[in-house]
Amino acid sequence: MKKYFFSILCITLVFISCSTSNGNKNLKKTYSLIPLPNEIRTNSGHLILQDKVNVSLPSELPLSTLFNYFKEVLKNTSIQVEKASENQQSAISFIVDNTLPDEAYALNISAEKIEIKSNSTAAGFFYGIQTLIQLMPAEIHDTSQKGISKIELPIASIKDAPRFPYRGAMMDVARNFLPKETVLKFIDMMAVYKLNRLHMHLTDDQGWRIEIKKYPKLTEIGSYRSQTQVGHSDYYWPRRYDGIEHRGFYTQEDIKEIIQYASDRFITVIPEIEMPGHTSASLAAYPQLSCGLGKEYVVRDYFDIFDEVYCPKENTFAFLEDVLTEVIDLFPSHYIHIGGDECPKKAWKKCAHCQALIKKEGLKDEDELQSWFIHRIEEFVNSKGRDIIGWDEILEGGLAPNASVMSWRGEEGGIIAAKQKHNVIMTPGDECYFDHYQEDPEFAPLAMSGFLPLDSVYAYNPLPAELTAEEQSYIIGTQANIWGEYIQTTDYFEYMTFPRLLAMAEVQWTQPGNKDFNDFTHRLAKDFKRLDYHGINASRNFYDVNITGAWNSTKNSFEVSLKTFSPDTRIFYAINDAIVTTSSSLYNEPIRLNEDATVYAAVYKDGVAQGKTTQKSFAVNKATGCSYISTPHPVSENVNKGFGLTDGIRGYAKNVRRWVHYRQDTIQIDLALSRPQTISNVASSFVWRPVNYTWPARKLTVFSSLDGKTYTKRAAKELKYDFSPTEGTRFPVSISFPTSEAKYVRLEILSWGVIPDGYYRAGEQSKTALDEIEIH
């Protein structure tokens, strides 16, 4: 070991000189680099920073803000970071290299010094700093203590550039306002993981969150509601509310601070002003912008798609142009997001002005009227030197000439737009919506719907294979969307966002050939310490067991699989026993079940439990895994289509997607058992979700057969229910009969029929949802 003292510079660099080896495996195992750089070459040895570290900055670039950022990161250490004076030797040098593409960087750590290279746009310098910081111990972020006296860094050469130029995350602060401090904290974390676009969803039916000086009622009225729904909109009857006032908006000074804070971290803030739908809050403030129709406009206190839309009148366009002028004056972003999604046309169809406008402009229908509306707004935005982004509904009726599309209803809209040579940001709900559950929805905190675990985020590839290479070039990036309907606090926002955002960061930055989920989990396991030091309330499902069960038709058995994302750990489990220790069964292969059971499981590392004990119940019986035919076909079967009624997993009341839905008065289900056998009981369950017009069956009849042709009635039962609960309820039903031999079982189900008075959609045919068919 040698020490180099740069005389009066007081820089100490200590290194170990050993044999050279190339590759990145050791570096990845030892350090948490997220997103993973695309080229890493390592040498044996280390460099140590301690005492004073001088940093030389290129004279041709103003990098003081970047220097101050780096200095701030090290403030909890005893290392003093100073700018080097001219002709001084430096521990860290920033060097302009205009052969590098935008946002690319080269980081070289040698035995003598550190060099970071970037082109003159300087973004690469910032990303090089982030990689350098990630090579440092996470304890540098620990604000509870000071005194790290030296930092050991590996000898390495890293050349890196992002896969996509647009690497985004969206904060929905309209549904539930989040304070400025939460936004700034999120910007800090985006910077750490090299995201560069913050999309702020600022207006919606539940709130207007940005000060517009010309229209003060937008925040005086539009940013306030007296209460907010509890739970999902269709779970309680009648809807429940928390009785808590909700208000909040960002002043223009707040916006300026957010923009500057983001800019200092090479992040562009993109504002979204929703139009022509999602406008209840603005119409509550200025109802003259609506089509009228005798409605009273209010800031909405529950979540749905509402008929309130802007009327395409001249006073509406004057208002929107005034609003957009103030927004454009505030935000330097090239893109202005104008929403364009989920715009019901009911008001336009009834509005005499709208119908006259359709005829005057030679439009075919209301879809083309929406396109006309978007075109007109785009012309104004273009006149200000900016371009618009809209959700993929802006394709309906024809895409505006310079518009970019955010494809959220799957990838189809993005594919269409790319083929039309429009820029696309891929953000399909199944892969990019972080308001979806990230752990078993049956036990997880309230979320929107769906299921998006960490590995599914990581596996996403935003470039559809059906596009040509040229068409793929119009896919400029992808974005994580954190919709805010059920996110009311900073802690819950962080729980829903992290660590999934780190997986998305690697999708956005790292070339697919360099990605590996197993390797990512090793790096992420180390990075949780960094998240903790940053004060991030990240989900710890990473350390839990995810329990899934499925019928194995090859082995003719029901099998339960246990999985954890946490690397180098072991899973222990117990059946029908909630106490799981290292003395329980060690999981090595799928668990076979031949009867109803609850599986409990936990992750252990070196004998210490890593997360909570998770559980999952399964319904395994003579019907499990059997095929069936429904008459009529279900109107929806979202999970395990084709065998959702016999997949061994019971539906539960808070997740309506788990159930198989019908909308006929009489439903017949013919089920074929695996072999002739005795039966004496049939059980199932129905769900009551009146706001979802889903009602339980009123009668169940069971038939059986040995040949599938001649059926014998075994039992019939009139079903009675207690509707005194005012929430979605799972009603189990069971019908017994004398033991008989059967190969085929037929269920005849009579629906509730017409929805009774006093309930949602009274007088209409109800839906029937059932799950699971169980035969004993």
Cβ atoms of residues 623 and 612 within 8 Å:
no
Task: Write down the H helix ranges in 276-428.
Answer: 280-285, 314-330, 346-350, 352-360, 366-383, 412-419
CB-neighbour burial class of residue 190 (10 A; exposed 0-12, middle 13-18, buried 19+): buried
- Name 360's Cβ contacts closer than 8 Å, sequence gap at least 6: none
DSSP, residue by residue, 485-531: TT--SHHHHHHHHTTHHHHHHHHHHS-GGG--HHHHHHHHHHHHHHH
Cβ atoms of residues 771 and 684 within 8 Å:
yes
DSSP 8-state assignment for residue 48: E
Residue 379 Cα to chain centre, angstroms: 32
Phi, psi of 128, deg, nearest 5: -65, -40
Q: Which helix (H) or strand (E) holds 364?
A: none
Tokens in use for 255? 């916006």
Q: What is the CB-side half-sphere exposure of residue 128 using CA atoms within 13 A?
A: 30
Residue 773 Cα to chain centre, angstroms: 33
Q: Bridge partners of 172?
A: 201
- Name 75's Cβ contacts closer than 8 Å, sequence gap at least 6: none
CA distance 211 to 202: 10
Phi, psi of 555, deg, nearest 5: -95, -5
Cβ atoms of residues 497 and 483 within 8 Å:
no
Among 135, 138, 93, residue whose Cα is nearest residue 118: 93
Is 411 one of the annotated active-site residues of the chain?
no
CA distance 367 to 700: 45
Angle at CA 150, nearest 5°, toward 144 and 156? 120
CA distance 157 to 535: 31
- In three-state secondary structure terms, 526 is helix
Tokens in use for 326? 């103030």
CA distance 168 to 625: 42
CA distance 432 to 515: 18
**How distant, in Å, are the alpha carbons of 163, 423, 509 from that of 514?**
11, 25, 10
Phi, psi of 541, deg, nearest 5: -60, -20
CA distance 150 to 647: 57
Strands 660-662 and 636-637: what pairing?
antiparallel
- Please identify which of the residues 82, 152, 257, 342 carries the catalytic annotation: 342
**Amino acid in position 260:** Q
- Name 288's Cβ contacts closer than 8 Å, sequence gap at least 6: 315
- In three-state secondary structure terms, 429 is helix
The residues carrying an active-site annotation are 342
